[in-house]
Amino acid sequence: MRVLRRGDGGPAVAEVRSTLAALGLLPPVNGILDQFDQAMEHAVRAFQQQRGLITDGLVGPATYRALRDATYQLGGRPLAYLVSAPITGDDVVTLQERLLELGYDAGRPNGVFGAQTEAALRNFQRDYGLTVDGICGPETIRALRQLSPRARGGRPVLLREQERVRRSGPRLTGKRIVIDPGHGGGDTGISVDGVNESDLMWDLARRLEGRMVATGMEALLSRGPDQCPDEATRAQFANEAGADLVLSLHSDGNRSPFAQGVASFHFGTGNGNTSTLGEAMAGLIQRELAKRTGLRDCHTHPRTWELLRLTRCPAVRIEIGYLTNDEDRHRLTDPAFRDVVAEGIVVAVKRLYLLGENDQPTGSFTFADVLAHELAKAE
């Protein structure tokens, strides 16, 4: 498709406008209905921010797909497993969440109707005396609406994820970590006074990679120095690599020069479905970085961003400082500071795989300790 931008007009623009209006991001009647004006650009940016897409105000393939997905509500169309072209959309997320709440293992609620969602749906249909066809049609929708969700807390899929890590033991050796430096190529991310987020995160990724490899982990980078794959491609790379963990590195920016600090994000819908391990990993990273770097602690948060949603292993996105804040930017441009950040992240990863066995207080465990620990085990 053609990329739509401010100044464009025509039926494709009109379609996107009506979608944005349906999502409540544009007033129903506003401006000329087939013109990509300033109000529409604001609405596109707001939508991109909500969905964790690159906030550029342009409607390209990724934004267009996300807009289309956002318009589907459960019950609006039949859902089924189409092997060659799986159905995606917010209605699939709702279905997966409902099935999970009812105790059926639909997999991580990622908005893609796959084999596991179908199996869960069939089990549900069997248990509730419905036609077992794996199709979410009117009869199944009615049944889902009538049932009140069982008490939450089981979250079987997410607990299973935790169990897999427990079984694989506390060793770092053999763990495969995908390091995902944000942006790249023509997309610099936040850029202030010639300091680019994409360059800083590339450099940080290399520092992190070196330390991880030294402690016996396998570290893979999701992109080259001059590439910017979209979020779905990055997730696919991690899935195909069979990653144990994905760490996505970003810096933030804000209209206010006073906004500053570090925050970590993990997969979660905000209504109880959270990646247990993603949340644990985000918490460990957040603690280490807040303690070691002096950056303001902006805490951990659940998000359904594409990369977090589409990766099959725990994934954490870290927003390290605000480049729009003078203090944070000066810190980040210092290579020694980036070493501190890399060390904090490696120690946090080690703590994740120790799962509670750790006895060293936050901020005191050093890279040398991690290395010694691994070497002692290797003997």
Q: Which residues of this chain interact with Zn ion, rule CB under 5 A?
A: 182, 189, 250
Burial class from Cβ neighbours inside 10 Å (0-12, 13-18, 19+) for residue 50 reads: middle
Least spacing, CB of residue 92 vs Zn ion, in Å: 27
Least spacing, CB of residue 208 vs Zn ion, in Å: 16
Least spacing, CB of residue 248 vs Zn ion, in Å: 9
Is the four-CA dihedral 310, 350, 297, 200 of positive or negative sign?
negative
* Cβ closest to Zn ion, residue 4 vs residue 318: 318
Least spacing, CB of residue 318 vs Zn ion, in Å: 10
CB 269 within 8 A of CB 339: no
Q: Rounded to the nearest 10 degrees, how much is the dihedral formed by the CA atoms of 355, 245, 50, 63?
A: -170
**One-letter amino acid for residue 335 of the chain:** P
* Cβ closest to Zn ion, residue 108 vs residue 250: 250
* Cβ closest to Zn ion, residue 182 vs residue 184: 182
* Cβ closest to Zn ion, residue 250 vs residue 331: 250
Least spacing, CB of residue 187 vs Zn ion, in Å: 9
Compute the distance between CA of residue 231 and CA of residue 240 in angstroms, rounded to an integer: 14
* Cβ closest to Zn ion, residue 191 vs residue 236: 191
**At 63, which helix (H) or strand (E)?**
helix 61-70
Compute the distance between CA of residue 131 and CA of residue 125 in angstroms, rounded to an integer: 6
CB 297 within 8 A of CB 371: no
Least spacing, CB of residue 249 vs Zn ion, in Å: 8
* Cβ closest to Zn ion, residue 57 vs residue 182: 182
Least spacing, CB of residue 204 vs Zn ion, in Å: 12
* Cβ closest to Zn ion, residue 134 vs residue 182: 182
Least spacing, CB of residue 333 vs Zn ion, in Å: 16
* Cβ closest to Zn ion, residue 250 vs residue 351: 250
Alpha-carbon distance values, 262 to 231, 270, 298, 305, 334 (Å): 21, 20, 5, 18, 16
What percent of the chain is helix, strand and coil (3-state, nearest 5)?
A: 45, 15, 40
CB 141 within 8 A of CB 74: yes
* Cβ closest to Zn ion, residue 175 vs residue 303: 303
Least spacing, CB of residue 251 vs Zn ion, in Å: 6
CB 16 within 8 A of CB 67: yes
Least spacing, CB of residue 250 vs Zn ion, in Å: 3
Q: Quick one: which of 121, 70, 69, 119 has its CA closest to 95?
A: 121
DSSP codes of every residue in 206-258:
HHHHHHHHHTT-EEEESS-TT----HHHHHHHHHHHT-SEEEEEEEE--SSTT
CB 319 within 8 A of CB 326: no
Q: What angle do CA 237, 197, 348 make, to 5 degrees?
A: 65
* Cβ closest to Zn ion, residue 253 vs residue 314: 253
